[in-house]
Chains A and B, each alone.
Chain A
Amino acid sequence: MPRLRFIKQGRAAWISHLDLMRVFQRAFKRAGLPLKHTQGFNPRPSVSIALPMSVGVSSRCELLDFDLEGMSLPCDEITRRLNDALIEGVEVIKTYELGQKVKYIGFLDCKVSMQYDGGVKCGAVEKIAELFARKELFVEKQGKNGTVLRDIIPMIRKISVSADGENQICIFARICCQEPSLNPAQLVVAVEKELEDLKPDSVSYERIEIYDREENLFQ
């Protein structure tokens, strides 16, 4: 099955996972790229997006698997046609055959930008860095059976904290994203819980890159 890598940003960041599949199904159709349909009484075009993302998160590294009906086109041609038919904020970077199996995805680099309207407090960066340097850090997670406390430290492979201008702190982290997976929002939950005075006024999230279980770039 061919795969494409795409960006989702700007206004399009607010499109939900399910809606984004609809957006692609229609874009394929407009691009004159007929998708194979699932068998069954109510056939659906087969597209699947690798790691579902929360609404509002932007990404530079989304993956979508698809299957075209009875035609073989050069990958560059597919990329070009799709980009002509897509919406602002969603852009295909490249299309390729023979991607790795999605189950081998292991890690994700993400950027968490925390905005402080009154300016970043003195020592804040250090405090947050210390927080994530702890041996263990338990954070509440909403699960299917109520909330559970989980230690998030084993799920963080790398982390760096830095100030970005007067009003913003950025966390760059490499985190587990599949079995187990850590939602980047949990990093902020940890800050809010442990360092109450460093609660940000707003936060934005971005996915930067994905890796396999050996931390090699995932294709």
Chain B
Amino acid sequence: MTELLKRILPTVQKPARYTGGEYNEIKKDLSQVRVRVAFCFPDTYEIGMSNVGMRILYGLMNEMEGVWCERVFTPWADMQQAMQQNDLPLWALESQSPVKDFDMVAFTIGYEMCYSNILSMLKMSGIPLRSSERKGLKNIVFAGGVCAFNPEPLAEFVDFFCLGEGEDIAREVVSLYDKAKAEDWTKEQYLLEVSKIPGVYVPSFYRHEYNEDGTLSAIVPLNGAPKVVTKRIVEDLDSAYWPTKMIVPSTEIVHDRANLEVFRGCIRGCRFCQAGFSCRPVRKKSPEVLYRQAVETLEHSGDNEITLSSLSTSDYRGLKELTDQLIPYCEQNHINLSVPSLRADNFSRELMEKLRSVRKTGLTFAPEAGTQRLRDVINKNLTEEEILTTCQNAFSGGWSSVKLYFMLGLPTETDEDVLGIAELVYKVIQTWKAYATNKKRGLRVHVSTSYFVPKPHTPFQWEKQISPEEYLRRCRLLKSHFYSHSIVYDYHGPDLSQLEAVFARGDRRLGKVLECATELGAKLDGWDEYFNYSYWYDAFQKCGIDPNFYTVRGYGEEEILPWDAIDVGVSKAFLLRERRRAYEGCVTPDCREGCAGCGANCLLKEVSCDA
């Protein structure tokens, strides 16, 4: 550690997140390392270290001979300021070397509102922001993660994107770099070769042309790049790489526990959900492999809690078999087993009762919409009856608090749907009055509404986002219909979700807005204490770009979409079909009940979809 860093550390909050040195951190002898990868997570240490994808890719790249992958996180604002005052460039935790010394700089991007952090991290590293300004093979910047499914707002800054699951593609692009460096290729040569790897999207190899009205008129592939890049997936999860020796942070992180992914993909077709469509097809992992990995992971970390994660864990076929094995192990070793996002079915209820970690405090539902009509439109197959029956069971079992999550601004939503939320909440309160065993404790119903953001690769990818004013009107309308003191209603201001909508469906012209906002001071936008819409407002003004073009306008079905060169497996024809069904209020049954023909099974060669 440098003397300078030692002097700065006492002046910042939570210094342990900047020092590295955790258990299972990987250190290598630099004289044996040919390719150095700085794996950047564009948010704080506490968030980044909770990300399973980063854990997998860190382990996997470090298993490659001659490659050393190190971690970099966004420093908190106090550290950013101290770095600026002291001319201290951003460093990687393992070696404490400046990021600028690394061959490859990788970003994993899971959320649009961390885009400004990507630019500020490059800036803090002293690396030129624009791909065109970085001439040599050094500091190749590449990125992956769900936001790579519409990477256009970042097209000017990132040299190439890896689409889909990273297990295979990360090895391939790093190995190619190893070869390129040994043979002294130019950057252009490397980009040309890397663009031939399936799943690699090199944005500078695509020319975007526009109509007078600002919509896209063509996406022209250059340099022999494929017209459409298809995301990569791992077919057999049982044999896929899993890092059992994971880093154990020495300071508390957001998800301070071991985390095991039980399967990938989702059989539910909630029409607003990007992960639900873009992570298809469904692939299983066997309970035996999961049990073994759970035990090994826990023994190497010493964690006292493990989470079984996925998009919808109740839909994992092996859940009973896995938990039957895992619960005794966990009980014997004082380990809490947590299974989040269970559905309200019978097995899940039994399971919840068996899990020690479930405290009688909270119960969470995400009905997303207040009326059955609108829930059918969005294909959220959760009925009022299911919610009320589960509440009834919970209240008679001693629970006294419920959280309910909704969205406002969903397609076809009317005031009646908004007031349907108040009605549903009222029925929950009535259920409590009828069935609560301990009324003295009182009831808390936390209601939270968010502002609907249409996302690419979903049936709602063409939809309008309602205006911020209209969103606030609906919030106030709803608020005026909550009469009970038991209700706690939260809603966020519209600015962040409006920006999220702009960037989620944005095109490359937004690159300059991003650069400008970061220049003006935008940083840590995902954090309430630092998010400041005025930087973004000013940036849109300065760049002459109207955010409404990306939000309230809505996209035409005939329009070329900025992400049309990217294929996540689900066909556009299917998305359109689902859009039509939404308007008709037609529910599409889950994939297990019947295949709806989304097209994602075409990504599989060795196995079939496990929906």
Interface residues of A (CB under 8 A from B): 10-12, 14-16, 18-20, 22-23, 25-30, 34, 37, 41-43, 45, 55-56, 85-89, 201-202, 204
At the interface, yes or no: B248 with Cβ under 8 Å from chain A?
yes
**Contact indicator B359/A41 (Cβ below 8 Å):** yes
When distances are taken between beta carbons in the complex, the residues of chain B under 8 Å from A34 are 333-334
Given contacts A26-B23, A30-B302, contact A87 B250 (CB under 8 A): yes
At the interface, yes or no: B65 with Cβ under 8 Å from chain A?
no
At the interface, yes or no: B6 with Cβ under 8 Å from chain A?
yes
B469 to chain A, nearest CB (A): 45
Q: Nearest 7 pairs between A and B by C-beta?
A: A26-B302, A29-B302, A11-B21, A30-B302, A11-B19, A14-B15, A19-B251
Chain B 1-37, CB-CB to A under 8 Å as 1, else 0, gives 1010011011000111011111100000000000000
**Contact indicator B359/A30 (Cβ below 8 Å):** no
When distances are taken between beta carbons in the complex, the residues of chain B under 8 Å from A41 are 359
When distances are taken between beta carbons in the complex, the residues of chain B under 8 Å from A88 are 21
B88 to chain A, nearest CB (A): 15
28 contacts between A and B (CB under 8 A): A11-B20, A15-B251, A16-B14, A16-B16, A18-B252, A22-B256, A23-B23, A25-B302, A25-B304, A26-B248, A26-B304, A27-B302, A29-B302, A29-B303, A30-B299, A30-B300, A30-B301, A34-B333, A37-B334, A45-B304, A56-B9, A56-B10, A56-B15, A85-B23, A87-B21, A89-B21, A202-B3, A202-B7
A65 and B80 CA atoms in complex are apart in Å by 38
Report the nearest A residue to B22, measured CB to CB. A87
**Contact indicator B304/A29 (Cβ below 8 Å):** yes
Interface residues of B (CB under 8 A from A): 1, 3, 6-7, 9-10, 14-16, 18-23, 248, 250-252, 256, 299-304, 333-334, 359
A115 and B217 CA atoms in complex are apart in Å by 65
**Contact indicator B299/A15 (Cβ below 8 Å):** no
Given contacts A14-B9, A25-B302, A56-B9, contact A19 B250 (CB under 8 A): yes
**Contact indicator B251/A16 (Cβ below 8 Å):** yes
When distances are taken between beta carbons in the complex, the residues of chain A under 8 Å from B18 are 14
Q: Which residue among B16, B18, B303 has the maximum number of chain A CB atoms within 10 Å of its CB? A: B16
Report the nearest A residue to B15, measured CB to CB. A14
Other-chain residue from B248, B300, B334 in contact with A43 (beta carbon distance below 8 A): B334
When distances are taken between beta carbons in the complex, the residues of chain A under 8 Å from B299 are 30
**Contact indicator A55/B359 (Cβ below 8 Å):** no
A112 and B304 CA atoms in complex are apart in Å by 38
Q: Which residue among B14, B18, B19, B301 has the maximum number of chain A CB atoms within 10 Å of its CB? A: B19
B289 to chain A, nearest CB (A): 22
A41 and B359 CA atoms in complex are apart in Å by 9
Given contacts A37-B334, A43-B334, A87-B22, contact A12 B250 (CB under 8 A): yes
When distances are taken between beta carbons in the complex, the residues of chain A under 8 Å from B252 are 18-19, 22
When distances are taken between beta carbons in the complex, the residues of chain A under 8 Å from B21 are 10-12, 87-89
**Contact indicator B16/A85 (Cβ below 8 Å):** no
When distances are taken between beta carbons in the complex, the residues of chain A under 8 Å from B333 are 29, 34
When distances are taken between beta carbons in the complex, the residues of chain A under 8 Å from B3 are 202
Report the nearest B residue to A203, measured CB to CB. B10
When distances are taken between beta carbons in the complex, the residues of chain A under 8 Å from B16 are 14-16, 19, 55
When distances are taken between beta carbons in the complex, the residues of chain A under 8 Å from B304 are 25-26, 29, 45
**Contact indicator A14/B19 (Cβ below 8 Å):** yes
